[in-house]
Structure 1
C-alpha cells in the first residue's frame, strides 16, 4: 500500500526548521514596520478619497439624470410650481449647494427658491459656458465644488437643462478626520504589538525562504497553473487546458476537482446561454441575442459598402386569437408563424438572414447584402412573399384563423447609422403598414416621422375632445323608398378642432380605434344619440316611430360588454329598444363569429335591431348572413354609385336585395346622390335609402326643424 504524505506534514516539518532561523531577521522587520504603516495610511487615504469622489460623482450623475427626466413635462408646459417642487426635493439632499433649471440660451428658469430671485438671469459662473452645449450628463469641478449638469429633452428637441452643485467641504473634512484617526490607531498598534509583530514577520520570512523551493514544486506551480486556467475560463475560454496529475495528495485532489468543475461549468454555460438567447416557445433567437447580433453587424458595416435590411414584422389582430380561442391557441399560432417565416426565408435563398422573435407577436428579420446586390430589392421580394404566405388561413383547434402580417423595412445605412435609430425606424414603418390596412409592407421614409408625429398629436388632441365640446353628432335622414317617408336617421360623429377646424372622420375615427379611445367615445356617442332620438319622439308626434342607428367599432365588440352598455343606455334615456339600430361592419365579424353571434343575439332578444354596414366589401360577405343574426344590411356606396352605368354593379345590387329578402332581411342603400339611383333602387325592391340626394348630415337642431 502506497503511503500518502499530506501537505500538513510537509509544512509542519519545514516550519519547525524555519522558525529557528527567523530570529535573525527580527530587526529588519522592525525597521520596515514604520514604513509599512506610513504606506498603509497613504494608500488608505487615497482609496477613501477615490471612493468618496466616485460615490459623489455617481450620486450626482444619477440625481441629474433623474431630475432631467422628471422635469420634461413641467418644463414643456412651463409649470414653475412643479419645477420648484422637484428642485426643492433635490436641495434637501446632503451636500447640495444649488440647483438650477435653465433654457437653451442659459437663462435661469428656476433656482429652487420660492421667489425665484434669479429668474431670467444669464448664468455667469465659470461652469456656465460648457453646460450650454452638452448633449449628455456633464461634470465639472474645482477644489470646493462639483457641478453636474444634464440636458432636458422631449424626443429630439432640447428644452433646456438642469445643474446640481455639490459642496466638497464636508467630504474633505471627513477625509481629514479619517486620516487623523488612522494615524493614531496605527501608532497605537505599532507601539503595543511591535515586538510580537517583529517576531512573527521574522519567522514568516525565514519560513518562506526555507520552503520556497518545496512550495514552488509542490504547491505554487500547480496553483499558478490552475489560476491561469481559471482566468481563461473567466474570460469565456472554456477549452482552457487544465493541468492533470497523478499526485496522491491534497493538491492532486484539487487539480482533479478543478478539471471536473471546468467540465460542469461548460455544460451549465451552454444551458444558460441557450436559455438566455433563445425564445422558449418558438426556438428562435430572442430580443437579447438579436440585439447583440445587430450591434455586431452594424459595427462591421460601418466604413464598408455592406448594407443591411431590418424587417420588423407584427401579426395583425393577434390579440383577438388570445381573447377568443385562448392563449394555448395563441402559442400554436406563434409557432406556425415562426415556421412559415423560416420556410419563406429558405425558399428565397435567405441563408444569411437572421430571424428572431422580439416578444409577443413581433418578429424581426435581418438581411445582409452581398457585393453588388440590391438589398432593397431583396427585402422587398422577401416581404412580399411573407405577406402572401402569412395571409393564408391558419388551422388552429379545428378552426381557420385569418390574421396576416404587417412589415416595416428600414435599411442601413440609408435610413439610420446606428442600431437604436434603425430599430425605431423599422417600428415606424411597421406602424405605417398597420395604418395602410394591415397585411402589407412599407419601407421607412422620413415622411413617416412626420406622419407619426401628426398621428400622436391627433391622439393627444382627441383625448377629452367630447368633454370639451369639440365632438358632436350629425344625423343623416333615412327614407323608405316605396313611400318616401322619413323613418329614421344615422348618427355620424363629427370633430371640429379648435385650431384646424373640421377633421375628416376617416382620420380621427381610425386614430380612436387604434389608440383605444373608441372604447370611451363609443358609449358617449350611443348615449347622446339615444337621448336625441328620445327628444324627437317626445317633441314631435310624427317622430314616435323614428329609429336612430349608431355605428359600433370592431374594438367595442371585442372588449367590454356591448349588450350591457346598450341595455343601460336604453334604460337611462327611456328610448324603446326597437327604435335603436346598431350598425357594425362586416370585417368586425370575421374571425370571431361565434362570440359576435352570441352578443348580437342578446341585443336582438332585447329588441334592438342589428344592421351589417358596408355589406359586400368584406372577404365573404354573403356567407356571414347564414351565421350572424342581423335584421338588415346596408349596401356599400361603392355599388350604389355605379348602378346607372355599370351592369355588374346593378346585378350585384339586385342580387343582394333578392338574397336578403329571401332571408327576411331588410336592405338599406347608402350614398344615394341622384334621382336615377333612387328610382332604380325602388324598382328593384330596396327597402330604405340615405344619401345627399335625400338629405345631408345635419345637426340635431336642423333635424328637429326637418321633423317640424
Structure 2
C-alpha cells in the first residue's frame, strides 16, 4: 500500500443534519401514503407504487445530501448514470416491504423476508451510489463496517415492518412519526457506517494535486435539491389525484370483492332502467343469499368465508352482460341486475346462476358444496328501488322459509307484506311533522363508586291510531326504505339540544350515547350530515361528551371504509362504543383495529349470570381484554343484584339495565330515585 495515499475525509455537520431530516420527512410521507392502502380498494396499486417511489427517493436524497456533506482535499465529480440507477434497489425494497404489509397475511417469515430485502435494497443503493464517485484514486471498503452496515439495514427494516404490522390501521400520527424516525435513523446509520468504513486512496503521483483545504462539490447538492423539489411536487400532485380517486372508489365499491356496493346503486339505478328501456329489455333484479354462510364462517374461519365470497363474486360477474351488473348487497348477499326479453325467461336466467353457485368451491385442497336462495322481481310500472328491494326481500324470505336452495320470483298475492307497507307510509308521514317521536334515556351506572353520569338515548314512536310501535319493527323498515338517515338526523339534533340544556343546569347526566344504524356506513355524506347538525345546534362533542354506539355487524361489510368513517367521527370529538359485543361473527379479529373507546358486552353474556365457571371465565376474559386495550367496559341487560355484584367484582366499569332503571323520558330522570330503587345486600 506504499504507493497509495489515504485521503483525509471532511464532513459538514449542517448537511449531515439536513440529510437526516430529509430521510425522516420522506419516510413519513411514504408511510402516510401507505396508510391509505388500509382503506383503499382498486387504487392500492397506484398508491403502492407511489409510496415505494417516495420512500426510495427520500433514502436516495438522504444519501446524496450526505455525500454533499462529504469532501476530500481533491476535486471529485459524479457519474450521473450510476447515481440515477442507484435508486432502483431501494425503490424495489420499499415495494416489497409495503406489498408484504398490505397484500399478504403478514406471517413472521414474510416480515423477515421483506425486512431482509428492504435492508439489502438500502445498502445496495448506498454502495452502488458510491461507485458513481469519480476521482483519480480508488475506494476501499473495510469488511467489518461493510457487514455492520448491512446488519443495521436488515435489522432496522425488520423492526420497522414489525412495528407497522401492528399499527397500520392506527390514526395516531405520533406512531407514524416514530416509524419515520426509525427509518430515518436506520438509513442514516447505514450511510455513515458505510462511509466510516470507506478509505479513499490516491496514487502517490497525484500528491502535488492535493489541496490543504477540503474541496466542496456543490454540483451534487444542487442536483439533489432540484430532484427533491421536482419529486416532492410530483408526489404531491399524484397523491392528491390518487386520494380523490381512492375516496370516490371507496364510496362506491366493496373492499373485499371490488364489486359495486349499494351506494353505487343509488346513482346507477336510473341509468340501468333507461338502458333496458332503450333496448326493449325488461329490468330484472335478483337478490342472491348464500345459504348457511354464518355456519361456514364459524366452522372454517372468516378468511375462508372471505375466499368463498371472492370466488362467488367472480362466478356471478360472468353471468351478466353489458345490460347488467353485480353488486355486494349486504354481507353474504349479492344483487344481480340483468335485462331480459320476456318474463318467461326467469327460469332460464336463474338456472345457470344456481348451477354456477353449486359448483364446488376449492379452498385449501377442500371442496365445499354451496347453495343459495334467490329472490327476484322486475321493475315494471315505474317502481322505484325502495319498492323493488322490498319485493326482493319478501321473495327471498319466502324462499328461506320454504327450505332454502331455490329460486323464488316475487308474487304480490303470495308475498305481499301489508304491515310493512303500512309502517312505511306512516313513517313517512310521521317524519314530516316529527311530533309522534319521543326520546327516552336509560342511565348507565358506574359500578365501582355507584355514580350515574351517562345514559343511552333511545327513540319511541307513539302512533295516534296504531299505538306504540317497537323500534325493532320500525327501525328495519326505515333502513330498508332509506328513511333511516332522516330519522337519525332528528334523533341526533333533539338529543344534542337536551344535552346542552343539561349542561347549563349542571344535570347529573353528563354524557349520552346514540345508536348509529347499520346503514350509516353505506351512505355517502353520512358523517357530513352529523357534522352539519352539530354545527347547527352549536355543539362541541369534546365539551358535551357525545358517544355513538355501532354494532360489529354494521361495520364488517366494508371494514376499511368503516374505520375511516369512525376516525372522522373521533376527529370531531365523538367517542365510539362497540355495541352488542359477542354477537358478531369476528369480534376478536377486528377489535384491535377498530378505533373503539367503549366495549358494550351483549346481554346474552349477562342473562345467565351467575353461571358456570366457564361462562364466568369467558366474561371476565372479555372484560380484562378490553381494559388492557384501554377501553371502558359497559355490561348491558343487568336485571339482578347478583349480576351487578359479579360484574363489579370482575372489574366492569359500567352497568346498564332494568335493575337500575328502565328507559324514561328526560323529565323523569331522577338520580336519587334511581339510587333508592336499587336493592343491594
Q: TM-score range by the shorter chain?
A: 0.3 to 0.5
TM-score by length of 1: 0.42
Higher relative contact order (CA 8 A, sep 6+): 2
Larger gyration radius, structure 1 or structure 2: 1
TM-score scaled to structure 2, two decimals?
0.44
